[in-house]
Amino acid sequence: MSGNRERPVVAVLYREELPPRLRDIERLAEVRPVTAENLAGALAGADVLYQWHSFAPALRDNWHAASSLQWIHVSAAGVDKLLFAELAHSDVVLTNSRGVLSRAIAEFALGFVLDIAKDAQGSFLLQQQQQWQHRVTRRIHGRRVLVVGTGSIGREIARLFRAVGMDVSGAGRTSRPGDADFTDIHSSADLAGVVGSFDFVVLAAPLTPDTRGMIGAEVFAAMKPSAHVINVGRGELIQTDALVHALTGGDIAGAALDVVHPEPLSLGHPLWSMRNVVLTPHMSGDTESYLDELAELFVHNLQRFVQGEPLVNIVDKSLGFVR
């Protein structure tokens, strides 16, 4: 794939701040920075849409203006909020930022595991109450983990967890024997049949029609009462009402959630005040350098586009993720 001119036209859709490395983009292309309300004008004659930290429905609303668009790049791994029917059925290539945030998200997931096993929340509460109360904690070495989602993020989680001595299996679209990162891989369609032997169930799957609501009452009921669910994927992977019921009814011991549904949680939602829940505001991949790293990936791909080389991170639009 290549641009249809020596200097392609790149519409940069942003919400509040323009992306880093804008000068690098300008060296390769004609750049049209634009916010959602003015997107139609910027799309006219544009070869590329660089969707920078904006998931407004602007592209769907202005799809009629994208007559010359060849390629869309999203500064995120998930494309569920962008992938509408007209785009999915078009010849426009869609790429994402797969891999850029994987290590940071894996570290965050491991932090959740350590928080739970070492009762960091309990220690903080006792500190606030000025109580010196000795307790014992749990080791994570040898604990069994099921990582739901065997893509870039799931594999990075598996490698990091295995490095600290955990036994890690995966769940993906199809079951298969073990590979380099997982002891074995189960079918996500059979989660209720396999979750019962795991201490932690970590969600790192993309949001697709097949994965939406995949963790519900049946899966929670099949988990060990001592098990925890960790979500660093998408909030809608979990049926929230079923999660609340499982936490209050003792089906599972607790949850650590970087993403929720709805997001953000409404004031007074029961998850806010549960002692066995850790909540963070969708920040697992956001390190000090992540914006520059996301922009660097786009510049690299734009160079390939200009030179007529294959793009990296091409999303299979029928699946909703990079194969």
Residues in the chain: 323
Q: Which amino acid is at 210?
A: D
> Is 234 assigned a catalytic role?
yes
- Among candidate residues 26, 37, 263, 309, the one labeled active-site is 263
> Is 309 assigned a catalytic role?
no
Task: Please tell me the distance from the alpha carbon of residue 31 to that of residue 25, in angstroms, as a whole number.
Answer: 7
- Among candidate residues 53, 173, 282, 304, the one labeled active-site is 282
- Among candidate residues 32, 73, 143, 234, the one labeled active-site is 234
> Is 269 assigned a catalytic role?
no
Task: Please tell me the distance from the alpha carbon of residue 134 to that of residue 233, in angstroms, as a whole number.
Answer: 35
Q: What is the 3-state secondary structure (H, E, C) of the chain?
A: CCCCCCCCEEEEECCCCCCCCHHHHHHHCEEEEECHHHHHHHHCCCCEEEECCCCCCHHHHCHHHCCCCCEEEECCCCCCCCCCHHHHCCCCEEECCCCCCHHHHHHHHHHHHHHHHCCHHHHHHHHHCCCCCCCCCCCCCCCEEEEECCCHHHHHHHHHHHHCCCEEEEEECCCEECCCCCCEEEEHHHHHHHHHHCCEEEECCCCCCCCCCCECHHHHHHCCCCCEEEECCCHHHECHHHHHHHHHHCCCCEEEECCCCCCCCCCCCHHHHCCCEEECCCCCCCCCCHHHHHHHHHHHHHHHHHCCCCCCCEEECCCCEEC
Active site residues: 234, 263, 282
